[in-house]
Chain A
Amino acid sequence: MRVFGPKELQTDIIEKGLCSGCGGCVDICPYFRSHRGKTAMLFPCTLEKGSCYAFCPKAEVDLDELSMRFFGRTFDGSPLGHHLSIQISRAGGRVSSPNFQAGGTVSALMAFALMKGIVEAAVLTDREKLLPLPRLVKDPSEVLRCASSKYSAAPTLSAFNRAVREGIDRIGVVATPCQALALAQLRSNPLQKADFKDPAALVVGLFCTWSLDFRAFKDYLAGKMDPSIIRKVDIPPPPAEIMEIYDDQGKREIPLAEVRQLVLPSCSFCLDMTAEFSDLSVGVLEGRPDLNTLIIRTERGMEIVSQARKEGFLFTEDLPEENLKHLAWAAANKKKRALVKIKAEGLFNTGDGRRAVLRFSDEAAGAILAGEDGK
């Protein structure tokens, strides 16, 4: 993969609105910081190569290289990415929380990993009122506090970077697709540091179709209500087409079409709906708000799932065919839309030394673009 420096990150990504605010470049150095969902470069840094650029999920990402590194094969553009098995799941009897969104699978898995010492600490996304905030937790009971979905971008990886600097070498992460992709690059040791050890012991990815610009979202809500008393935000599965906002007065519904106007521009450059570069990916299950879809991608993920099941932390069963088809259709659509966009912007597999957002084989690209539109 081609690695450039902070200057290029600033001009190619931050200034062009391609930043998803994942936090991959935050807290590895004093220059990049995140504030209210946005990444800012505080001072110029003169290095020609930097971790900031190397980790960025929108800067010169080589999916073939990453795929080889984690799955032993090149990127094929299949809708759900490399996986071993797909299940439906929910938290087992040993864990429960009123905060669970859908089946509570993510919290259950991470609490289990902490309890068993599979990970020393977990990087999660908490929130303060509406603002999602990264959090590093060591106590399994704290995991449940961070449950519930956040619909705007969070610099979650900054907590991962902090954990690495603290010297924690087995870290669990709950990551959105862009965060998982940044993490995958971090885990490939792009700057080839001699003493490098992969510090990520478990990566649980989250399904994601888009993420909101926090500042725009807050301003939008401020025009409708007092954002400071909001307790929970939820998007019920299709075909509802609404966002539900819970505050002291109860539930309000706002049309999803309006909310989509506030999506980060960066999301339209993202091919990944199911967080393909993770051990396990978790999302909703259509038609069953009490259950999750669980994609098992790695042996390590498989092992944890089976242990958690055995010990009553997790309940799983096979995914019905109908759901799988629909999930693959949605994921393929996201891939195609994004690739068309990236190509249109001239940021795919660029030559002549120009910098790209994404690189992978033309075959895989062809497969993605050949995918069908509509249901």
Chain B
Amino acid sequence: MTAGAKKRKEAPRLLMGNEAIARGALEAGIQIASGYPGTPSSEIIENLSRSAAERNIYVEWSTNEKVATEVAAAASFAGLRALCVMKQNGVNVASDFLLHLAHSGTRGGMVLVSCDDPGALSSVNEGDSRPFARILEVPLLEPGDFQEAKDMTKWAFELSEEIRNFVFLRSVTRMSHASGSVIIGDLPAETRRPAFRHKGSLLDPDNGPVISLFPGIPELKHGPQQEKLRRAADIFEKSPFNTYQGPEKPELLIVTSSACSLYSREAVHLLGLKDRVGILKMGTTWPLPPELVKRHLAGTDRILFVEEVMPFLEENVKILAAEAATDLGIKYFYGKKSGHIPSVGELNPDLVLSALRKILNLPSEKDPSDFLKKAESIAASAAPHRELTFCPGCPHRASYWSIHNAIELDGREGFVCGDIGCYTLGFLPCGFGTLKTIHSMGSGTGIAGGFGQIRRFAMNQPILAVCGDSTFFHAAIPALINAVHHRSPITVIVLDNRGTAMTGFQPHPGLAVSAMGEQAVDIDMAEICRALGARVEIRDPFDLEETQRTLNLMMEEAGGAQVLILRQACGLSPEKKGKKLFEVKVDESVCVGENCGCNRLCTRIFRCPGLLWDGQKKTARIDEVICAGCGVCAGICPSGAITKREAQA
């Protein structure tokens, strides 16, 4: 260790939660990290990939979360420490393997990080991954601040090796994407040499084959797994990650975890309740350490659960309280079940404040001050709602334009099954309301395949699906195989914007680069589809006419599953960002404006943020600060008023 590193160790650094988790993993000496991008988890693998060369670790963006957990598990089987990262939805994808893995157990420390998104700030569902720990019967940790995010991640590997099973670490958006002070620790100097020992007996956990379960004899594997969980609970009894702040006998005990512990602390601070309300912040939330919880329940009659999404702590503590009812007596519980804490959406200090006020009969909040009333009235006119939209220069806007038009021209009430990515927004006006179903990764193609089969009962509607390039590899391929195999007459449109755009441009199997920036084999999705036997067309979505024409022909001729690849890089992609391909201008003298013949097609319907409507001149114009110079609007202008000229380099 150099002197510089020692000095660095002492000064706290401002780290994002995800950076802290990545740092913790490095300090734990991981040699393998895998994951699939998903907000709010992506920065963990991104950070590790930047350290890959320096730390001599292997980092990959896997094809999907299930594969990611398998990759990490292999490293664990060979005795290495391995980290696997995903957003909450990814745990659903990985869960099949994880239940097997929980039975077989692990060797080298393995930690699964799931980043949940309460409030669905960047998700299309609001799931809670914590109940998976209970279903999988593995330990669950939840950091409550940034230092803990690092320390807990590091310790999770030790726990994993101690109990010989993987450990689940759950973060949330307000931890992962928030930043705070972290004092970093040393990085290990040694690396482990992997070896997969498999010649021992079937039941030898160190040297035998790694098998999830012996059919018909669950006690051989499932039994020991539950024993591991009991050991974890014992360890958790003394864990420093469970903290209590407050009087010995509080009037009200808050039981909380994760970012909610910060909201709870703030609320107690603002109400000056430090001497009346205690906060039991749990870092080890499954299995709950029963003695610790009972000890705290014994000191109060009233308990408030402050947590997001599912009433996970609430239910598990209630079970413990019921089991110990003869000792503890009657308790009053407040939380999601009582309605004091909202059962959906993100929490914040104010929601905890109002719960505390209600429970403790504190004077309710004063009416809004004059100031706020005035601010509210200014905002009513001066802060127009910002609906979500595609970025300027986004190829999806062009793609949806053509898809929408093709469907309308076709006239048979065709529809598009949507999927997960930026293009999910296609159900909104920015995508001309084109998407009619949206579910999980790859589901668009799967659902479309099903619709295709019911056409045999005289349904005449054309059936389309969209999926992104990363989504294609992640989960759409099996659905496409199913559709091709069963001759489902659907058209799958791959919106290939050359990267995992939504989450910040991570590479995927279709690109020739890996997470570590190394050369990778770029897998040609068109060739895959052709090999399946699907008709494949590739078009540039910026060529609106050609895209629409192709799509109409495909819809008319759909005999079996066919694929249209619309290929155009994302406007924020490294090769395009900040570079205008075209200088776009509006000739005001030609613009038809709101008159018959146009009626503001570009600003009213196409709605690219780079366009503006000048209400005085009654013409469109370009917002040169926003315009990305893609030039697509020139193609939709009916009067030729919008012109594009190649931009000077």
Contact = CB atoms under 8 A, between A and B. Distances in A.
Contact of B596 (A33, A38, A42, A191): A191
Interface residues of A, number: 20
Interface in B599-614: 599, 601, 604-605
A29 B409 contact: no
Contact of B638 (A30, A35, A36, A38): A30
A41 B405 CA distance: 9
Nearest to A41: B408
A49 interface: yes
A29 B405 contact: no
Contact of B597 (A35, A40, A46, A51): A51
B432 A43 contact: yes
Contacts of B410: 35
B598 interface: yes
Contact of A42 (B404, B556, B597): B404
A47 B596 CA distance: 7
B272 interface: no
B411 A42 contact: no
A49 B408 CA distance: 23
A45 B594 CA distance: 10
Given A40-B411, A43-B605, A28 B405 contact: no
Contacts of B598: 29-30
Contacts of A38: 409, 411
Interface string B541-566: 00000000000100010000000000
A79 interface: no
A42 B405 contact: yes
B483 to A, nearest CB: 24
Given A47-B596, A50-B596, A191-B596, A29 B638 contact: yes
A43 B604 CA distance: 10
Contacts of A36: 409, 556
B636 interface: yes
Contact of B636 (A28, A30, A41, A45): A30
Contacts of A50: 596
B597 A29 contact: yes
A52 B598 CA distance: 12
Contacts of B604: 46
Nearest to B594: A47
A304 to B, nearest CB: 32
Most buried by B among A28, A45, A50, A191: A45
A42 B605 CA distance: 10
A285 B408 CA distance: 41
Nearest to A52: B596
Contacts of B556: 36
A35 B601 contact: no
A42 B408 CA distance: 6
Interface in B118-172: none
Interface of B: 404-405, 408-411, 432, 552, 556, 596-599, 601, 604-605, 636, 638
Given A30-B601, A47-B596, 6 more contacts: A29-B598, A35-B411, A38-B409, A43-B605, A47-B599, A51-B597
Interface of A: 28-31, 33, 35-36, 38, 40-43, 45-47, 49-52, 191
